[in-house]
A and B are shown apart, each in its own frame.
Chain A
């Protein structure tokens, strides 16, 4: 019995220092002190400039549509209704779309340029409309306003204060 006790004590005495010697490391301790400084990092996106350099060779990019297409002046101030898809721009707290672009076809087609400026109506709505699905067409009804391009920056286009917005249904 005393032998056993002694053995256990001895084993403990041998084992204990191993536990006591846990060394807390900082991540910087993993790098040898005399290590040479790392080489300066390479510039980010270094090769991305290549595309610019090659652009001259590649010819012009996909043609952009004119931003200031001609508009039908006679429509200014006319009460109209127009079907189209709603592209939400701003929403109210309740998640109703209060400002949107009305376009003739549902987005996502990237094979052709986006619709020209005379194929977009920039509409606002006081009450807003709940848009559950982007591919649901709507009728919007209200007075159309034609904006003129007075300068290079301001673009011509149609605006509407939508008074009525309702589902477009096939009949």
Chain B
């Protein structure tokens, strides 16, 4: 115990260097933990976005691509698919439910999704949790009704009965807007922690009504314009949708139906198992994750080597200190223990400060990360894996402390009291 007191007192004597060393270690620990946490939370949020859906069907492209645009609202569809194709598989005897999805428009950077009542009834996230309304109701007969995700409502401060004007395309600042057909907010969903929070949901009829008077890729002019009231009178049966989600009566039939959809003669379709596509996505991202992890490991190593350098340089200046200690009866292993303890305290202080830094950073970045990237970083205690990382850093600190300890041990034997001052 007295050794620890001595080590701390000695460190206190050189507090500026010691503080810098601790800070370097703290920064590297913070970086390592942040990388680990972002990685695991990103995976968790991807994994909990879709549940209970057996097949995702869209125009033929790639499985990861289809999963990203239809479920995560990342990227864009390559093509739409015919309504008849949807009807055909929605009524398939092996299919228990089907959710149509129509994408392409946005509202201030948030995606607009056309869908049907089946979405609120059958879509599941997390551990098969259904969507719930925080306020209001799902959209009904009127095509110009919209249900907001929690994040959209909160960020843009929308309440029930507000009027919104949706925009064409998916840019944050949009120049072409559907301003003749405003939508009314009829419902706001509870927070789910998934891309649903950042989506505006309208009916397929609403999606159709928005584009009913578009001709040749631009809004109609003059006489040809159809306003909201006229649009309500029209037949708004959609001709095409972007993708659809299927739930089956029996999951064993998944492969059979997948093959049947992929070989559908009507038009080229692609059916994917969301779990498999997610796994493919992860093995893609895995390389980048590993690279990041290795980089942050090296940063930690640099921090520890910085500590080693600082202690080794100080050894020469501290010959007198060691000599005095020896003269008052300290044995060589006392000297060695002193230095190991010093290194350990530096590493421990670094780890603790690093943890504190991490939590400060999470507290600051939580809001922006959630609203910009949809990534929720909880203020949770370190996970078992993170504790293990921290433990290994402390252990590495101890091992590195042995190098100056060994040198001081040798020197203290050689120098003894015969040192020339």
Point out residues on A near B: beta carbons under 8 Å. Answer: 27-28, 31, 37-38, 40-41, 43-45, 48-49, 51-52, 55, 61-62, 64-65, 67, 87-95, 97, 99-101, 103, 107, 113-115, 117, 120, 122, 131-134, 152-155, 157
Contacts of A93 in B (CB 8 A): 44, 47-48, 126-127
Verify B176–A100 contact, CB threshold 8 A: no
Question: Which residue of the partner chain, among A31, A43, A101, contacts B252 with CB atoms under 8 Å?
Answer: A101
Contacts of B418 in A (CB 8 A): none
Q: Is B199 an interface residue (CB 8 A)?
A: no
Contacts of B20 in A (CB 8 A): none
Verify A155–B252 contact, CB threshold 8 A: yes
Could you list some 20 contacts between A and B, CB below 8 A? Answer: A27-B176, A28-B218, A37-B224, A45-B82, A52-B266, A64-B259, A67-B94, A67-B256, A88-B276, A88-B278, A89-B54, A91-B275, A93-B127, A101-B252, A122-B251, A131-B279, A153-B249, A155-B249, A155-B252, A155-B253
A27 to chain B, nearest CB (A): 7
Query: Please, what's the 1-or-0 string for B233-267, where 1 marks a CB less than 8 Å from any CB in chain A?
Result: 00000011000000001111111101110010111
Question: Which residue of the partner chain, among B93, B221, B275, contacts A31 with CB atoms under 8 Å?
Answer: B221
Known contacts A122-B251, A155-B252, A157-B252; A134 and B239 CB within 8 A of each other: no
Verify B265–A91 contact, CB threshold 8 A: no
- Nearest-neighbor residue (CB-CB) of B254 within chain A: A101
Known contacts A37-B215, A90-B128, A101-B251; A95 and B43 CB within 8 A of each other: yes
Contacts of B240 in A (CB 8 A): 44-45
Verify B80–A91 contact, CB threshold 8 A: no
Verify B275–A114 contact, CB threshold 8 A: no
Complex CA–CA separation, A131 to B47 (angstroms): 13
Known contacts A44-B80, A120-B255; A89 and B275 CB within 8 A of each other: yes
Known contacts A28-B221, A38-B215; A55 and B265 CB within 8 A of each other: yes
Verify A65–B251 contact, CB threshold 8 A: no
- Nearest-neighbor residue (CB-CB) of A31 within chain B: B221
Verify B82–A117 contact, CB threshold 8 A: no
Verify A48–B259 contact, CB threshold 8 A: no
Contacts of B251 in A (CB 8 A): 89, 99, 101, 122
A61 to chain B, nearest CB (A): 6
Q: Is B273 an interface residue (CB 8 A)?
A: yes
- Nearest-neighbor residue (CB-CB) of A65 within chain B: B256
